[in-house]
Amino acid sequence: MAMSDPSGRETAISVLIPSYNPGQYFREALQSALGQLGPHDEIVVQDAESTDGSPRLLAELAASDSRVKPVVERDSGQSDALNRALRRARNPWVLWLNADDVLLTSALDRLRAALDADDSVDVVVGGHELIRADGSRIDTFNGRPLDARAIVTRGCAAFSGSILVKTELLRRVGGFERELNTAMDLALQLEIAAARPRQVLIADPIGALRFHDASKSANLWREFVREGHEVRMRHADGVRQQAAALLMTARHLVESRVFRLRLTPEYRIWRRRVLRVMGR
């Protein structure tokens, strides 16, 4: 059992948020984290000189709460922004939240409880929700352990906003792959899995991934499919895994083309049935 540091510093969390013209969802994303920060936690925002008023919002929040730590400067994409934020993170634990997603109520408390229960872990993986633009829930998913074989054949083990990682481990595996624009989460989970971290799963949903018409998944589906395929094939170990990775790419391609259908209850029911038949 972990012996908690009375100051709370050993379980202090840095929430990394990259942003560029995030629009109407940004305030909600920031508030979802700000409302549950501990005294030593921080929100490390890296904004690429947004023109939608986001820098003004960040300045207002930073002026009222010193735990909000924004930097507004040009970068070369989301992965570069995340690496810049990671370099500035000062706490032992890191969680990556996108600027249009949210942390669910008491998420950080649940993560900290997992750390208090076992001080040997390097990664905490929670469940996540899929939500619509208006915040209504589409579906809930359990997280899976970060296992390279499963990630290659089934995709990401969890939504990035539901994974807490030791800052030292994240830096040791090289952070975020700068050349990737859409599949950096997939690549990062594979790199972390390769490091064989000590992991713990918690059943509670931690973050919520928002699907909306302006999201990357809705507009950059070709890039998602291409980058995801390249990452999976790079990490596939042997012919069987390569074949499974190809099947995953085919599934990804189909799902990307029926984006709006994926938001309907009927699709979610069909998907669960298919995965049950496949033993997943």
The pLDDT value given to residue 279: 61
Decide the pairing of beta strands 42-47 and 13-19: parallel
Map residue 69 onto helix, strand or coil.
strand
Cα–Cα distance between 257 and 267 in angstroms, integer? Answer: 13
pLDDT digit string (tens) for the chain, length 280 residues: 344 455 578 899 999 999 999 999 999 999 999 999 999 999 999 999 999 999 999 999 999 999 999 999 999 999 999 999 999 999 999 999 999 999 999 999 999 999 999 989 999 999 999 998 899 998 899 999 999 999 999 999 999 999 999 999 999 999 999 999 999 999 999 999 999 999 999 999 999 999 876 666 656 778 888 998 999 999 999 899 899 889 888 888 877 766 666 667 777 677 667 666 756 5
pLDDT for the residue 1: 36
The reply to whether 218 falls in a domain is no
Q: Is residue 118 part of a domain?
A: yes
Which among 216, 204, 199, 195 has a CA at the least distance from the CA of 259? 216
Range of the structural domain that residue 122 is part of: 9-213
Residue pair 30/68 in contact by the 8 Å Cβ criterion: yes
Q: How many domains does the chain have?
A: 1
Predicted local confidence at residue 9, as pLDDT: 81
Residue 46 lies in a domain: yes
Instruction: Kindly state whether residue 141 falls inside one of the protein's structural domains.
Output: yes
In a domain, 246, yes or no: no
CA distance 108 to 206: 8
Quick one: pLDDT at residue 217?
62
What integer pLDDT is reported at residue 280 of this predicted model?
Answer: 57
Position 259 scores a pLDDT of 63
Distance CA 89, CA 96 (A): 11
**Residue 231 covered by a domain:** no
Residue 222 contacts by C-beta under 8 Å, 6 or more apart in sequence? Answer: 256
Q: Distance (Å, rounded) from C-alpha 263 to C-alpha 216?
A: 15
**SS3 track for 94-106:** EEECCCCCEECCC
Task: Please check whether residue 65 lies inside any domain of the structure.
Answer: yes
Q: Parallel, antiparallel, or unpaired: how do β-strands 13-19 and 93-96 relate? A: parallel
Any domain includes 237: no
Q: Which CATH number is 81's domain given?
A: 3.90.550.10
pLDDT at 248: 87
pLDDT tens per residue, range 55-84: 999 999 999 999 999 999 999 999 999 999
Q: What pLDDT, on a 0 to 100 scale, did the predictor assign at position 269?
A: 72
